[in-house]
Amino acid sequence: MKGVVLTAYGEPATGLEFRELPEPASSGAGRVLVGVEYAPINFSDILVAQGLYPLHSELPSVCSVRGPGKLEQGELVTIFPLPEQSDRALAPNVVGFRLLPIRRGK
């Protein structure tokens, strides 16, 4: 698995590294594991890298916590009905807050 890792706050060109990362452990009860297919680097990620964002992660830290992917472990539980069971999700925000199911294409 590959990812962009923030190693130092300041200049993003020197503080961000694209590197190989270990596979995450199993998700456990009440949690899910999503195999993210695409994770964009957004303006807010650049602010984090520069140290200008209000939240500061312990370094090194994986950058970009949003993107679509396939549910690898666990079960999606929603507060609204889905037209059919989905095995894909979108993580639109910080890890741990919420996942949105992605409707299967026809």
Non-local (6+) Cβ contacts of 75 within 8 A are 32
Q: What is the pLDDT of residues 55-88, one digit of tens each?
A: 888 999 888 767 787 777 666 555 545 545 566 6
Query: Is residue 97 over pLDDT 80?
Result: no
What distance, in Å, lies between the first and last C-alpha atoms of the chain? 30
Domains of the chain, by residue range, sit at: 2-101
Smallest Cα–Cα separation from 38: which of 88, 85, 83, 77?
88
What predicted TM-score, i.e. pTM, was given to this entire model?
0.68
Q: For residue 9, name the pLDDT band (cuts at 50, 70, 90).
A: very high
**What pLDDT, in 10s, does the model give residues 17-50?**
999 988 877 666 666 777 788 888 888 889 999 9
Question: Domain 2-101: which topology?
Answer: Quinone Oxidoreductase; Chain A, domain 1 (3.90.180)
